[in-house]
Amino acid sequence: MLKKVLGYALAIAAIMLSGFAVRHYLLTPAVSPSSISTHSFFAAEFPDLDGQPQELRQWQGKTIIVNFWATWCPPCLEEMPELSNLHASYQDQNLIVLGISSDDPGKIREFANQTPVSYPLLSGDIDAMNISESLGNDKGVLPYTVIIAPDGNLLKSYFGLINQALLEQDLRALQLIEN
């Protein structure tokens, strides 16, 4: 009987510890956003849905919400309608949402034909994950989202699923959008 109770207690302790580890792993940023350079981001270019290379520097001077995603990632797909609404609502306030996928252009084009979004989708393949890592995604998590200010500084990063309300709250606090 004591062995059973001890076994259950150890199992519960293991589950709790793994939950705390996952929470810490996903929610604790390893690096302060202000110490991350966006140089490699603005030096990169990725093809759009038509296969045309798009230099990321073309969006310098805007507030950029960069969302790293993949077509096989359920949380990525879940947040896309809200990112699309955010982009449509604030593009007149110098804000752009960019979706950079780790998929090849064909998969992204197929996805976009079935599920259109209002913001540019780019294909970054493995380079997308490298740029994501250079912007603080030291965990290799998707989705991964960052806010880059018009001056080019990385202001905020998010591991995992985000929503429009959270982004609007943070954008207002950072004084990047009007109420």
CA 110 to chain centre: 21
Q: What is the pLDDT of residue 178?
A: 87
Q: Write the CATH number of the domain with boundaries 34-173.
A: 3.40.30.10
Report the alpha-carbon distance of residue 42 to residue 81 in Å, rounded: 26
Lowest mean pLDDT among 33-42, 74-83, 152-161: 33-42
In this predicted model, which residue has the larger pLDDT, 121 or 7?
121
Taking residues 135-145, report their average pLDDT: 94
**pLDDT band, residue 18 (cuts 50/70/90):** very low
Report the alpha-carbon distance of residue 40 to residue 14 in Å, rounded: 40
CB atoms within 10 A of CB 84: 18
- Integer-rounded Cα Rg, in Å, for the chain is 19
Q: What is the pLDDT of residue 126?
A: 87
Report the alpha-carbon distance of residue 121 to residue 100 in Å, rounded: 6
Q: Is the dihedral of CA 8, 10, 15, 16 positive or negative?
A: positive
Q: Is the pLDDT of residue 158 over 60?
A: yes
